Amino acid sequence: MTLPMVMPTAGLPDAVTICEVGPRDGLQNEATTVPAHVKVEFIRRLLDTGLTVVEATSFVRPEWVPQLADAEEVAGSLAALDRAGVRFPVLVPNLRGLDRAMALGLTDIAVFGSATETFARRNLNRGLEESYAMFAPLVSRANDAGMRVRAYLSMCFGDPWEGEVPIDQVVTAGRRLLDLGCGELSLGDTIGVGTPGHATRLIEAFDAAGVAPSRLAVHFHDTYGQALANTLAAMRCGVTVVDASAGGLGGCPYAESATGNLATEDLVWMLDGLGIRSGVDLGALVAVSSWMAERLGRPSPSRVVQALAGKEKA
């Protein structure tokens, strides 16, 4: 298999943790109904590539996101996939979602906040202050139970209804989530409008406000082809956790302009070329995404999958 030449570059981390979001964020906006057993097999195959953090599902109401109506079935199968050092975060929107996660013995959860009022109301049916009030007891209870709590912050780089989002507004919203007790904050470019300079300024602003890059992750969508460049900029600022989706799957059911996530294969190709450890076998990952693309009935949008899978067939 073709591999990139390794050219380490100063000013970058030695290793990056990939949070694989394909089974949840990647499949939640697919028109094709993916059976639970296929999702579980998808997760198993992803683990076999060396990924150690795989976001499995979301405990939302089925009428909100029909693709995730099988959350109990998928999450109930995770124990059989468990292995040392592996984590399976699940998204929980409220206390009822937390109850469902705890009943299945899950240990990693995530809440989904917003940097803008409009998206908060469209996604959670409540404003920012109401959202924090909803998250507070949820995060507190999860922490008391010894669970790991991650916070997503959407619309950090732009909002389709409100337009440009001021950096200080994003920092304020993110700090509110961390102050509730969330251990990690993932900064989301939900509609993919961010650029490297913007990513750098945002992370620097968080650092200046007392939130070190070690507490941040980045989650870029590739609407304008900037996801990899933005990720590299974030890594130069000290961020070492990157969200990505196998095969570039994904979108957002509440933001129509949001296209796929950063493809995990594209990210791993770049990391391999920079000599940055991720623990992921690129060839195995390409095979997994090709397998899932066949089940979805369409080619993978990942450039690396297209290039390497094409070479294998040639």
Nearest Cα neighbor of 69 from 130, 28, 40, 102 is 28
258-269 average pLDDT score: 89
Average pLDDT along the chain: 94
120-135 average pLDDT score: 94
* Pairing mode, strands 184-189 and 241-244: unpaired
Which residue in 19, 182, 237, 252 is the catalytic one?
Answer: 252
Residue with tokens 């959407």: 154
The answer to whether 182 is a known catalytic residue is no
Q: Quick check: 314 pLDDT over 50?
A: no
- The pLDDT of residue 63 is 80
pLDDT range class, residue 65, cuts 50, 70, 90 = confident
Q: How many helices (H) and strands (E) does the chain have?
A: 11, 9
- The pLDDT of residue 112 is 95
Q: Which of 23-32, 62-71, 160-169 has the highest mean pLDDT?
A: 160-169
Q: Confirm if 245 and 220 have CB atoms less than 8 A apart.
A: no
- The pLDDT of residue 257 is 46
pLDDT range class, residue 251, cuts 50, 70, 90 = low
279-285 average pLDDT score: 98
The structure tokens listed for 77 are 């199968």
Radius of gyration of the chain (CA): 18
Q: How far is residue 186 from each of residues 23, 61, 203, 232, measured CA to CA in Å?
A: 17, 23, 11, 15
Q: Quick check: 194 pLDDT over 60?
A: yes
Region of residue 167 (left: phi > 0; alpha: psi -120 to 50; beta: else): alpha
Superfamily of chain region 17-267: Aldolase class I (3.20.20.70)
Q: Quick check: 76 pLDDT over 70?
A: yes
DSSP code per residue over 158-208? -BTTTBS--HHHHHHHHHHHHHTT-SEEEEEETTS---HHHHHHHHHHHHH
130-141 average pLDDT score: 97
- The pLDDT of residue 256 is 52
pLDDT range class, residue 124, cuts 50, 70, 90 = confident
263-271 average pLDDT score: 98
Domain ranges of the chain: 17-267
Q: Quick check: 79 pLDDT over 50?
A: yes
Work out the percent of the chain whose per-residue pLDDT is above 90: 86
Q: Quick check: 69 pLDDT over 70?
A: yes
- The pLDDT of residue 2 is 84
Q: Confirm if 88 and 47 have CB atoms less than 8 A apart.
A: no
Packing angle between helix 227-236 and helix 196-208, nearest 10 degrees?
A: 30
Q: Confirm if 269 and 4 have CB atoms less than 8 A apart.
A: yes
CA distance 158 to 96: 30
3-class DSSP assignment, residue 80:
helix
pLDDT range class, residue 252, cuts 50, 70, 90 = low
pLDDT range class, residue 8, cuts 50, 70, 90 = very high
84-96 average pLDDT score: 95
79-93 average pLDDT score: 94
The model's pTM is 0.95
Residue with tokens 């206390």: 95
- The pLDDT of residue 118 is 96
33-42 average pLDDT score: 95
Task: Compute the half-sphere exposure of residue 42: CA atoms within 13 Å on the CB side of its CA.
Answer: 31
**DSSP-derived secondary structure letter, 262:** P
Q: Quick check: 258 pLDDT over 60?
A: no
- The pLDDT of residue 311 is 65
- The pLDDT of residue 174 is 98
13-35 average pLDDT score: 92
Q: Quick check: 255 pLDDT over 70?
A: no
